[in-house]
A and B are shown apart, each in its own frame.
Chain A
Amino acid sequence: MPQLEAWEKVWISQDFMSSTHGSQNCTSCHGGSNTPQKMDDAHKDVVRDPAADAVAKCDPCHAGYGAQHEQSLHGTLNGYKELIKLRTGQTTLSPELEEMYTQNCASCHTTCGQCHISRPQSVGGGFNNGHIFTKRPSMTLNCTACHGSRIGEEFRGEHSGLSADVHYNQGMQCVACHSSQEIHTSNPTAKHRYDETDQTTCKTCHEIGSSNTYHTLHNEKVDCQVCHSQPYKNCYSCHVGKSSAGLQQPSELDFKIGKNHLKSAARPHNYVLLRHIPIAPDSYEEWAPGQMTNFSVKPTWKYTTPHNIQKNTPQTANCTSSCHNNPSLFLKREDMQHLSQQEQIANESVVVDDIP
C-alpha cells in the first residue's frame, strides 16, 4: 500500500469538523493549546495518538470499549509474546528478548485510532478520511494494511493462478465475519486468535444439510477449508534479524492437510489445513543468542483457515484422486526431511503417518 504524503496524513476535512468528534476542542483529545500559536509551539506536548490511552480518552464516551481493547490480542499482542515465552522457556522475557519484541513484534500493536481513524502506524499512519471516525475499519486501509501478505493477498486473489475468495467476490469485507465482539475480544485471557469465544465460522451462515453426501461424511471430521481452500502462503523464517538481510528462506505457496492440534468443542475436526508460520530455530539468534531453548514446544505448521475459499477446488473434483489417494496434500515426515531435527519434533502432533 503506497504511503500518504506528509500533508495528506494530517489533513482534516470539513465533514469531520461538523461531526460529533469534530465538535470537541482539538486539545481535549490531543492536548497542547487551542489559541493561535506558531507551529513549533503549537506542537509542543501534543499527543499524536490519544487513543493509545483508550481508557482515559475513549471510554468516557464509549464505555468499556477502550478497556476491552486493551485486553484484546490487538492490544496485548499476547499471541506473539506467549509464543516467544513458550519457545524460550522464559516466563519473563530476558532484556535481549524484550528488546527484540519491542523493536519488531510490538510495532504491530494497534490502538482504537489506528483502526477507526487512521492507518496503522506500522505502515506509516495518516488519516483514512480527513480524521472522520469510522465505526467499521476499512479492509484495505486498516485490516490488510497489517494482515496483508498472507490474508490480504489470498483474499483478493493476488497470487498468480489462484482465485480471490468467493466472499471477496461477493463484496464482503473483513468485518462481515470478524465481529466487533471478536476484535475487541470475547476472551480477555486469549493467547491465540482461535481462543476467542465469539467467532464466526462457516456454519454461522452455511447450514450443513443432509443433501450433500460429502458434507455428511466429512462433517466434524474434516475442517471446511480442507476441501474449499486453495494453496496459501507459507513462511519459514522471520524478519527479526538486526540486519537488513531479510528472510533467509523465501515464502512459498503450498497446501498441507494435517492433524488438528487445537481440538476443541468449536473445532472438533480431525483433519485441518496447516500453514508454516514465520519461525526457525535460529530466528532469535541475532538478538538473544542461544535463548530459543524450547523451539519444539509448539508445531511450526499451525492450524490455519486460509482466506481463499472457493466452492469448487481440485479437492472437490472427486474423492479418490483428489484427497484419498493423494499423499502430496498431506504433511508427512518426508516433507520435513530438509528441515532441522527440532522442526521434526515440533510437528509430531500434526504430521499424518497414515494417509486416509
Chain B
Amino acid sequence: MRIAKTIVTICLSLWLLVSLQYGCTKKNPAKSTNDNQEKLTCVDCHTNLDKLKVLAVPDTVSHGDSGET
C-alpha cells in the first residue's frame, strides 16, 4: 500500500511538472534576437554612441598592428 502511494505521488509530481513546463512554454515562447530588436534607421543608430556601444559587434577576424610586417 505504501509503495503504491509513493508511485502515485511520483507520477502525479512528474505529470504536474511536465504540464506546467508545457504551459509556460506556450504562454511565453522564447523570442528570437531579431524580434527583440528596435526598429531604427541607419542614422538613428550610427550617430548614437550609446546605442552603438551596446549593439556593435567586434569583427571575428583579428588583424595585426601593421599591414606591412
B40 in the interface (beta carbon within 8 A) = yes
- Chain B residues with CB below 8 A from A5, complex form: 56, 58
- Chain A residues with CB below 8 A from B49, complex form: 7, 11
* Docked-complex contact A7 and B56, CB < 8 angstroms: yes
Q: Per-position contact with A for B19-62: 1 when CB-CB < 8 Å, else 0? A: 00000000000000110011111111111010011011111000
- Chain B residues with CB below 8 A from A123, complex form: 63-67
Q: Provide 10 A-B residue pairs closer than 8 Å at the C-beta atoms, listed in order of the A residue.
A: A6-B56, A10-B52, A14-B47, A17-B43, A17-B47, A36-B40, A40-B33, A122-B63, A125-B59, A149-B68
B69 in the interface (beta carbon within 8 A) = yes
Considering the complex, which residues of chain A in the window 30-51 have a beta carbon less than 8 Å from any beta carbon of chain B? 30, 32, 34-42
Cα(A26)–Cα(B42), bound, Å: 7
- Chain B residues with CB below 8 A from A34, complex form: 41-42
Which one of B40, B43, B57 lies within 8 Å of A26 (CB-CB)? B43
Cα(A3)–Cα(B55), bound, Å: 18
Task: Tell me the smallest distance from the CB of B57 to a CB of chain A, in Å.
Answer: 6
Q: Per-position contact with B for A8-20: 1 when CB-CB < 8 Å, else 0? A: 0111111001000
Residue of B nearest to A130 (CB): B47
* Docked-complex contact A40 and B68, CB < 8 angstroms: no
* Docked-complex contact A148 and B66, CB < 8 angstroms: yes
| Tally of chain A residues near chain B (CB < 8 A) | 43
A11-B46 contact in complex given A6-B59, A149-B68, C-beta closer than 8 Å: yes
Please report the number of residue pairs spanning A and B whose Cβ atoms sit closer than 8 angstroms. Answer: 93
A37-B63 contact in complex given A12-B47, A149-B68, A150-B68, C-beta closer than 8 Å: no
Q: A1-B66, A38-B38, A108-B67 are in contact. List 8 more A-B contacts (CB 8 A).
A: A5-B58, A6-B58, A7-B56, A11-B52, A41-B34, A42-B40, A123-B64, A148-B67
A239 in the interface (beta carbon within 8 A) = yes
Task: Tell me the smallest distance from the CB of B30 to a CB of chain A, in Å.
Answer: 16
Considering the complex, which residues of chain A in the window 129-153 have a beta carbon less than 8 Å from any beta carbon of chain B? 144-152
- Chain B residues with CB below 8 A from A14, complex form: 47
* Docked-complex contact A120 and B67, CB < 8 angstroms: yes
* Docked-complex contact A35 and B41, CB < 8 angstroms: yes
Cα(A38)–Cα(B43), bound, Å: 13
* Docked-complex contact A40 and B59, CB < 8 angstroms: no
- Chain B residues with CB below 8 A from A125, complex form: 59
- Chain A residues with CB below 8 A from B43, complex form: 12, 17, 26
Task: Tell me the smallest distance from the CB of B66 to a CB of chain A, in Å.
Answer: 4
Most B CB within 10 A of own CB, among A14, A42, A125, A147: A42
